[in-house]
Structure 1
Amino acid sequence: MSNVFIAFQKNEETRAIVDAIVADNPQAIVNQQPAMVKIDAPGRLVIRKSSIEQEIGREFDLQEMHVHLITLSGNIDETDDELSLTWNQ
């Protein structure tokens, strides 16, 4: 099974996003670098609006992530409430 991943600029605003993603994806592996944080997961990674809102304590539009996004790998399925990255088998 191939890994999917998403990478963000490393800053204070992305800390809550990363924490929420890791909480929802226990199989995820976080790779911290000086200017970037990359999250890898085997086969599937789910990003939930509700989890991010819980971490940051305010309403959150998933489109806000794109400001901090560096790159990603996988097929994207996005709704107003969830973004998932997968590799179709």
Structure 2
Amino acid sequence: MSNVFIAFQRNEETRSIVDAILADNPEAVVNMQPAMVRIDAPNTMVIRRSTVEEQMGRPFDLQELHVNLITLTGHIDETEDEFTLSWKH
């Protein structure tokens, strides 16, 4: 089993994104750094637009993830409603 991860700039906007990721991925682990937050998950991580919208209290376009994105690892599968990182083919 290999971990996937995503890292964002650490700021007020990404706090809601991180909270949404943790809500939808109970096995995810957060590593807070002074200027960055990294979330690791075994095999697969799903970021759901609806969960981010719940946390933010406003509409959210998943393309907004890229504004504060630093790096990620895993295969990307992206739709209007979900951004998934995995090692599945």
Normalising by structure 1, we get a TM-score of: 0.98
State the superposition RMSD in angstroms: 0.8
Gaps of 5+ in 2: none
Q: How many residues align?
A: 89
Partners of 1:72 and 1:3 in 2: CA distance: 11
1:30 aligned residue: 30
Letter of the 1:25 partner, please give it. N
Partners of 2:83 and 2:17 in 1: how far apart? 12
Segments of 5+ residues of structure 1 without an aligned counterpart are: none
Tell me which stretches of 4 or more aligned residues in structure 1 moved more than 2 Å.
Answer: none
Normalising by the residue count of structure 2, what TM-score does the alignment of the two structures yield?
Answer: 0.98
Q: Supply the AA of the counterpart residue of 2:2.
A: S
* Structure 2 residue 66 is matched with structure 1 residue 62: no
Secondary structure of the 1:88 match is: coil
Cα deviation for residue 88 of structure 1 reads 2.1
